[in-house]
Amino acid sequence: MSASVVLCTYNGVSFLPQLWQSLLAQTRLPEHIVVRDDASRDGTWELLISLRDAGVARGIDVSLARNPVNVGYAKNFERALAGTSGEVLFLCDQDDVWHPDKLATMLAAFEQRPRLSLLHADARLIGADGKDLRCTLFRALEATRKEIGGIHCGRAFDVLLRRNLATGAALAMRRSLLADAMPFPDEWVHDEWLAIVAAATGEVDCLETPLMDYRQHGANQIGAQRRNLAGKWARAGEPRIAYLEWLVRRGNTLLQRLPQLGPCVSPAHIDAVRGKLAHLGYRLGLPVARPRRLWPVLLEALAGRYARYSTGLRAVAYDLLGSG
């Protein structure tokens, strides 16, 4: 089974050499590395040209492409994925460090499970200096045993409909998924979209073993820093309406796409998206005055819809404390 690594870069001179070294140190090398640079201005492109020779020397086909103007990380990944040839595709960030057995471990899972469409793994968080932050990706995301267990038991769509747990740098997928997932909608981040489409059309699972070092620093596009209590309290008090309207747009995009993917999509999945949209509509209709929200929020929570379609008690706190 062939493997392509899909690496997107932007001003990555600081960490790119260490990432590249970790790719070439894999116990099972990829056949193809596709690199797409998003109009870097710090010498990244020149560095990539020099790094390519080391990959070619190891027998890897290295493809380099460069956007004339910056298009953003999601669109850059979409363009890079279109240039792949491997049966299994590994998304890769420029500032991480892969553990030597990452590719081999994940590829073995695809070989053993023909229906597996997408697999994501845990990661160890490190700082800009490479020091262990003593926290894993799943822990930073506060992934619960119920969520992880749901993914293991074939209920990944329900888990991912609530919130995404599949981080791009830590996932791999069958190339066949691209036919259903592309083009990527503007309302979704590429990794979230790939994961939810994979869960709707096939099997998604996760590995609880960290297979890479996920670097956290000031230039992260998204990152995974764990919020403390003060951060959570500040988040709960943020304006609600714009955020909820954005979630509705995402839900409508998903609802429009799923029926186009054929009979492999369960009617239950489509009904679940409709249920989430109804729940979001209910939340959007809550009174502006905070005291008047208490009873309707309580009713929705008792009905189990905050737990099923949103982030449970965190979403309850957001609706009770948020402005608007």
Block residue for tokens 């020397």: 57
Block residue for tokens 């990380």: 73
Helix-, strand-, coil-residue percentages of the chain, each rounded to 5: 50, 20, 35
Give, for all 324 residues of the chain, the pLDDT tens digit.
999 999 999 999 999 999 999 999 999 999 999 999 999 999 999 999 999 999 999 999 999 999 999 999 999 999 999 999 999 999 999 999 999 999 999 999 999 999 999 999 999 999 999 999 999 999 999 999 999 999 999 999 999 999 999 999 999 999 999 999 999 999 999 999 999 999 999 999 999 999 999 999 765 445 455 555 445 455 556 789 999 999 999 999 999 999 999 999 999 999 999 999 999 999 999 999 999 999 999 999 999 999 999 999 999 999 999 987
Closest CA to 204 of 113, 119, 103, 114: 119
Block residue for tokens 């839900």: 251
**pLDDT value for 223:** 45
Give 257-275 as a 3 state SS string. HHHHHCCCCCHHHHHHHHH
Whether 126 and 15 have beta carbons less than 8 Å apart is answered as no
Cα distances from 113 to residues 8, 159, 196, in angstroms, run 28, 21, 19
**pLDDT value for 134:** 94
d(CA 94, CA 196): 24
**pLDDT value for 220:** 47
Question: What is the maximum alpha-carbon separation in the chain?
Answer: 67
